[in-house]
Chain A
């Protein structure tokens, strides 16, 4: 498909507009505001659960420390994606609901509907905007669904969490496995280098998970995706240079 306008592949020039920066900061601000309100609610009402102020702080700190590893892994992926989407969009998409993997997959699927591939010469400004729309609308559905479902579930907690457990056990995981298998196999016909990237990344992940389990190193499980991505990129760099 040929796009009349927006055929430049200079994504960063439109993706770094000042207004987008303001929105990105606002989104991070909303997260901080929510956490502050929640922490205040916990501290003020701690006695309602036989909890001391010291225990409230300990829980806060433990949660923060446990999140350092996964956060750095997310940062690593976010930085690698910067040239594709620009800083503000990355902060909004990765900062809010959505993980690096989900967003990359969504963008790739969206680009595919106009016959383009992320990162190559078909990835024009127009394709970037279409991908950004698809990612944003998809994320919006997640949030709307949560806003609608949470009060309903809170009212009928016991009943509704037991809706057909067999279906709930099969559908989400089968859908996830299918989506990522499909996306991965789609990379294979592109070039031998793409296959190399997939294989090296998969191998490093397998080794990390194996070592993590054998030697009981939980941190390695959190860092594994970061190592896999770097390994895949190093292998493709060596193969192409």
Chain B
């Protein structure tokens, strides 16, 4: 760490204050607007869904992602710092877009990780990535999206509608396995998934099969945790070094 003058410390304090205050305000605004969307659809239509259905669906989703609500902020905080946290959790696409952008920018201006300059570079880079993110969504999805879908023949959209999910999942699973490099957890996850889908779901009441994915998660996490000393555990070291790249 290099030493800074009191004037420089004052400037950095001003930067921290502005980004923290405005980061909280903008993230809260984004939260309010985004969360209001389904309530507005509910209020302006007559679809006859019950609160029970909504809660059941949310619990099923939260069973899968619930741990991430807490674990992801904890995991990314050492990488992003407070300013970056408010950017990243507003925009999303943290690992595939924002973090790579920040790393590219730091190497461009030769900012050493851990310095104030690196933190500033990350903030500027994520801002640049945010502009590209918003512009691409607005133009290609918002304005041209329906047109792009409309010029596609019916048979094409029908295939896209029916088979988009398996087409995404196949690639995502391979990417996850390749990125995480956790052979043991991967094998456990696949075996558990096969057992749950082909043995548990067909032989249990609807209530159980509704939570099939949650069951996969709980079983895989439990088995991975209790067998953690079997085989090598070098992946956590890799995560640690990667985790300190930005700030």
Q: Do these two chains interact?
A: yes
Interface SS of B by simple majority: helix
Query: How many angstroms from the CA of A200 to the CA of B129 in the assembled complex?
Result: 31
Instruction: Point out the residues of chain A lying under 8 angstroms from B37, CB to CB.
Output: 20, 23, 88-89, 92, 132, 136
Instruction: Find A34's partner among B26, B173, B186 (CB 8 Å cutoff).
Output: B26
Query: Would you call B230 an interface residue if the criterion is a C-beta within 8 Å of the partner chain's C-beta atoms?
Result: no
Q: List 13 A-B contacts (CB under 8 A).
A: A19-B44, A39-B123, A44-B15, A45-B12, A47-B8, A68-B136, A72-B136, A82-B146, A87-B142, A90-B145, A113-B56, A150-B86, A202-B173
* B182 near A173: Cβ-Cβ < 8 Å: yes
If A78-B141, A237-B155, A241-B155 touch, whether A197 touches B167 (CB-CB below 8 Å) is yes
* B72 near A172: Cβ-Cβ < 8 Å: yes
Instruction: Find B46's partner among A5, A104, A231 (CB 8 Å cutoff).
Output: A5
Query: Would you call A58 an interface residue if the criterion is a C-beta within 8 Å of the partner chain's C-beta atoms?
Result: yes
* A229 near B35: Cβ-Cβ < 8 Å: no
Query: How many angstroms from the CA of A100 to the CA of B26 in the assembled complex?
Result: 22
Query: Would you call A215 an interface residue if the criterion is a C-beta within 8 Å of the partner chain's C-beta atoms?
Result: no
* A84 near B133: Cβ-Cβ < 8 Å: no
Instruction: Point out the residues of chain B lying under 8 angstroms from A149, CB to CB.
Output: 70, 73-74, 77
Query: How many angstroms from the CA of A116 to the CA of B224 in the assembled complex?
Result: 31
Query: Would you call A101 an interface residue if the criterion is a C-beta within 8 Å of the partner chain's C-beta atoms?
Result: yes
Interface SS of A by simple majority: helix
Q: What sequence of 0s and 1s flags, for each residue 55-87 of chain A, a beta carbon within 8 Å of any chain B beta carbon? A: 111111111111110111111011111111001
Query: How many angstroms from the CA of A126 to the CA of B146 in the assembled complex?
Result: 22
Looking at the assembled complex, report how far the CB atom of A42 sits from the nearest CB atom of chain B, in whole angstroms. Answer: 5
Looking at the assembled complex, report how far the CB atom of A51 sits from the nearest CB atom of chain B, in whole angstroms. Answer: 5
If A19-B40, A42-B15 touch, whether A3 touches B48 (CB-CB below 8 Å) is yes
Looking at the assembled complex, report how far the CB atom of A160 sits from the nearest CB atom of chain B, in whole angstroms. Answer: 8
Instruction: Point out the residues of chain B lying under 8 angstroms from A100, CB to CB.
Output: 168
Instruction: Point out the residues of chain A lying under 8 angstroms from B241, CB to CB.
Output: none
* B193 near A185: Cβ-Cβ < 8 Å: yes
Query: How many angstroms from the CA of A38 to the CA of B26 in the assembled complex?
Result: 11
* A201 near B166: Cβ-Cβ < 8 Å: yes
Instruction: Point out the residues of chain B lying under 8 angstroms from A172, CB to CB.
Output: 67-68, 71-72, 75
* A175 near B117: Cβ-Cβ < 8 Å: no
* A63 near B149: Cβ-Cβ < 8 Å: no
Query: How many angstroms from the CA of A232 to the CA of B136 in the assembled complex?
Result: 24
If A75-B141, A87-B141, A170-B228 touch, whether A201 touches B96 (CB-CB below 8 Å) is no
